[in-house]
Amino acid sequence: MTESAVLGVDSSTQSCKVEIRDLTTGQLLGRGAAPHPPAFPPCSEQHPLEWVSALAAATRAALAACARTPVIRAVSVAAQCHGLVILDVHGNPLRAAKLWNDTTGAPALAGLADRIGVSAWVRRTGSVPTAAFTIAKLAWVADHEPEVLDRAAAIMLPHDYLTHWLTGRRVTDRSEASGTGYFDISTGQWITEYLELAAGERDWTAMLPTVLAPSEPAGTLRPAAADVLDLDGDVVVGPGGGDQHAAYLGLGLRDGDQYIGIGTSGVVATSSRAPVFDERGMVDGVADLTGGYLPLVSTLNAARVSDVAARLLGTDLPGLADLALAAGDTQGPVLVPFLDGERKPDRPDARGAFADLTSHTTREELARAFVEGPLLSLMSARDSLRACGVDVSGAATAVGGGTRSPATLQLLADLLDDEVTVLDADEATARGACIQAAAVATGRDVAGLVDLAKQWQPQERHRVSPRRTGRNLAALRARWAELAASDLLENGVRT
């Protein structure tokens, strides 16, 4: 019997990953992946057609991995946030897309912040925009390539472009719109006056995509796109969303649950029904995929700090974990892991700092400090959410490559003084896109979308409980906060 299925897409900076899941049960039927061209700051760009090629290759690989060829009923795309895609009147990209980690728009953004006012900006968009936000990239294009904007018929984000390629429609969703710097998260309207300040007077309303509801169809698959993807039949396309937002949905988490991402960067987030406005700029009050909000804090230095530690200590990642877990109950040294500057807090020129080294400091204590430093950053991030009145009293779920380290999970549980759960979902973003696609295919409303996410929630892979140690973890956190706030970090490493 032919199975009805949905296809979820995770188009990240590094690659495109596709999952195919049974429409009724959510069972994984097949997955595929294809790389994107490498891109690095400060000028980080990829051509949108490269995303299409990767999507086609990943989709065909996922279909080939299925035991029986399924009938795809719906597709949804989640992708890297903030990037800028500019199209002409024929729907063709006018230039390569500027990605979230392109920092060339930072000077223009500083000028915009002075003109708009940080407080006013936060109160409308929910965030203090950084160079990652779309508006900074648009300002750069206006300053350096005004002829491109003169030919522009549409501006959109990476996920918007792929949805446009699938359907021919220019649409987006709240989660992605809220990361542009020109979307009012309370009214759900574009802020065209901010675009005028960034890039001059134009018919911005005609150039912006329509913002869809969480389970509102974006359209149906174009025959030309179906041919490229090797799909048949009447395929509906969902509104899609941002990658972190889709991952939260894919894990089946609800308001107050703690999403702790430990990948190349770090993330602490939860969902909320009320918007969040943090004028200090630590918390981004972005929208989620369920009609609510996903207040989050993103740090720059997370799992990759362990890569540096393993190199400096002459071991590998398993060896680093063994060393860190063998450190015992000593208070030990403290690491502020701003190795390449930091995003939250906004310390682009900061450097990492070790403190409290003594002649008795051991290799094991150094290893523990390397693993613990990024986790202390995430604990500070959670404090920022709480300071904004965000409920983070729910269960803690850790995701990302860093969860492969037993030391990372154990030290995180110790700092939280609570259990940490890892779910059986290596690709939560594509999984979340599948859930949205299934909700669209079956005509569910927002409540039905949330219920479906819970029904499809991954099984628990493992759970780690906190240890009772002789360390004063409150003093450790206070010491870390003192060091992290120090201006001396701008001057390099100190002991």
Catalytic residues: 243
Look up residue 67 and give its DSSP letter.
Answer: S
Distance from C-alpha of 64 to C-alpha of 60, rounded to nearest angstrom: 6
Distance from C-alpha of 119 to C-alpha of 278, rounded to nearest angstrom: 9
Distance from C-alpha of 347 to C-alpha of 489, rounded to nearest angstrom: 9
How do strand 420-423 and strand 396-399 relate by DSSP bridges?
Answer: parallel
* C-beta of residue 276 within 8 angstroms of C-beta of residue 250: no
Residues in the chain: 495
* C-beta of residue 217 within 8 angstroms of C-beta of residue 236: yes
The CA–CA distances, whole Å, from 141 to 1, 90, 100, 256, 291 equal 52, 20, 15, 39, 32
Look up residue 240 and give its DSSP letter.
Answer: -
Burial of 92 (0-12, 13-18, 19+ CB in 10 A): exposed
Distance from C-alpha of 10 to C-alpha of 432, rounded to nearest angstrom: 9
Distance from C-alpha of 391 to C-alpha of 385, rounded to nearest angstrom: 8
Burial of 168 (0-12, 13-18, 19+ CB in 10 A): middle
Distance from C-alpha of 433 to C-alpha of 12, rounded to nearest angstrom: 13
Q: How many CB atoms lie within 10 A of CB 61?
A: 16
Paired strand residues for 21: 6, 28
* C-beta of residue 23 within 8 angstroms of C-beta of residue 455: no
User: Which residues, in sequence order, are CB contacts of 163 under 8 Å at separation 6+?
Assistant: 77, 169, 171, 172, 218, 237, 239, 240
Q: 311: number of CA atoms within 13 Å, CB side?
A: 5
Distance from C-alpha of 393 to C-alpha of 383, rounded to nearest angstrom: 12
User: Which residues, in sequence order, are CB contacts of 97 under 8 Å at separation 6+?
Assistant: 45, 46, 47, 48, 83, 84, 85, 158, 161
Four-CA torsion 320, 325, 326, 332, nearest 10 degrees: 90
The CA–CA distances, whole Å, from 7 to 70, 185, 239, 342 equal 10, 29, 13, 36
Query: Which two structure tokens, joined as six digits, stand for 136?
Result: 């900074």
